[in-house]
Amino acid sequence: MQTIRKHYPEYLIEAAGLGIFMISAAVVTALLEHPNSLIRQAITDPILRRFIIGIAMGLTAICIIYSPWGKQSGAHINPVVTLTFFRLGKIKPWDAMFYILAQFIGGLLGLLIAVRILRDAIADPSVNYVVTIPGKHGAGYAFLAELIISFAVMLMILFVSNNRKLAPFTGMFAGLLIATYITVEAPLSGMSMNPARTLASAIPSHNWTAIWVYFTAPLLGMLLAAEVYVKLKGKKAVRCAKLHHHNNKRCIFRCSYRYLEADQKWLLSDKLPKP
């Protein structure tokens, strides 16, 4: 209970972050895919429409990551990201549990808000509650695709966020990958990488097609990426479960930055002339 009282703002931020992402996904998809939409009628090429949706969702992710809220919680907005950092020893068990719970609740509430906003439009087969289901090649291809893209995005996060020069651009890289995946990979699996995002769409749509894919493939992919990174760089190379530290936002994780800053201050004081 003490953990909840201390860290509930971060839990609420995670819920709100995925909720906002789901609202954005529903609204953007309705605007680009619903047959009555003027934008849909003007843009007839499905690849171009997916590209625009990808750009919109990539920008949504970037805004969440670099927002004051994202700087405080780490903007995981994905239970698999949280579980991977837990596996790496950067999140305490209670925080991991409440992060994941908040993400599932936030994703569902976000989509339910989108249902209220869009009404019948979101139920149209062209939008279909922005469900993530396997494409025409089936669940096997969807599983492999989800595993690969999840592996790639987590490996990017670990390599870029733990590189002093590249770290500030981690959110940009994440947004670029999301835009690319929606454009290129979405026909295979719907492009989820996130069980909370998939479940949020499955509940109101009552579409549970191959939902096991979206609970297993992203987890295996991201955990595999973590193992590869640890093999190459070592576990100590993972500094924290969030990106931003040079601000007034607290960090609730098992964070290495505080020790790095303490070492830098000690080295600086050691170089100062003694009185």
Map out the domains of the chain as residue ranges.
2-267
- What are 92-119's pLDDT values in tens digits? 999 999 999 999 999 999 999 999 999 9
**Is 35's pLDDT higher than 80?**
yes
pLDDT for position 15: 98
Tell how far CA 271 is from the center of its chain. Answer: 42
Q: Is 184 exposed, middle or buried (0-12, 13-18, 19+ CB in 10 A)?
A: middle
- What are 50-88's pLDDT values in tens digits? 999 999 999 999 999 999 999 999 999 999 999 999 999
Q: Where does the chain have alpha helices with state H?
A: 2-33, 38-42, 46-66, 68-73, 79-87, 93-118, 120-123, 139-161, 170-184, 186-189, 195-205, 211-233, 257-271
In this structure, how many other beta carbons lie within 10 angstroms of the beta carbon of residue 71? 20
Single-letter amino acid code for the residue at 247 = N
pLDDT for position 260: 55
pLDDT tier for residue 258 given thresholds of 50, 70 and 90: low
What are the angstrom distances between the C-alpha of 263 and each of 53, 97, 241, 252, 266?
Answer: 45, 32, 20, 20, 5
Name the one residue in this structure whose structure tokens are 């279909």: 128
Report which of residues 272 and 173 the model is more confident about. 173
CATH fold of 2-267 reads: Glycerol uptake facilitator protein (1.20.1080)
- What are 219-234's pLDDT values in tens digits? 999 999 999 999 999 9
**Is 20's pLDDT higher than 50?**
yes
pLDDT tier for residue 266 given thresholds of 50, 70 and 90: very low
pLDDT tier for residue 149 given thresholds of 50, 70 and 90: very high
Report which of residues 267 and 113 the model is more confident about. 113
**Is 268's pLDDT higher than 80?**
no
**Is 261's pLDDT higher than 60?**
no
* C-alpha–C-alpha distance, residues 189 and 131, integer Å: 10
* C-alpha–C-alpha distance, residues 120 and 129, integer Å: 10
**Is 91's pLDDT higher than 80?**
yes
* C-alpha–C-alpha distance, residues 12 and 271, integer Å: 43
In this structure, how many other beta carbons lie within 10 angstroms of the beta carbon of residue 101? 15
